[in-house]
Structure 1
Amino acid sequence: MFNKNSGLVKVWVSLIMVGTYKLEQVPALSNLKEVVTEVINATASS
């Protein structure tokens, strides 16, 4: 299970933030997409 401090989550968040990938492109791997979405939404609302 991934959480907001997982390395893979941080990598995907940074790739999405710089525009390399879109949120829809996060692979369906365990709860990865869900956690990345939460982090992106939390960052966007800050």
Structure 2
Amino acid sequence: MLSYTDTFLTIYLRQEYITLLYIQKRLSRKINMITDGLKVKIVY
């Protein structure tokens, strides 16, 4: 049987993990956009 604090911690950690994943996705998108822009600048 899990204690209340354990379940709270797992929920909290899971949300932290999801938030980190979300931030990582957004960051990688921005980085992709920046690198694409650089590629375009290099081409022209």
TM-score per shorter chain, which class? Answer: 0.3 to 0.5
Q: Which has the higher contact order (CA 8 A, sep 6+)?
A: 1
TM-score, structure 2 as length reference = 0.38
TM-score of the superposition, structure 1-length normalised?
Answer: 0.37
Report the structure number with the largest CA radius of gyration.
2
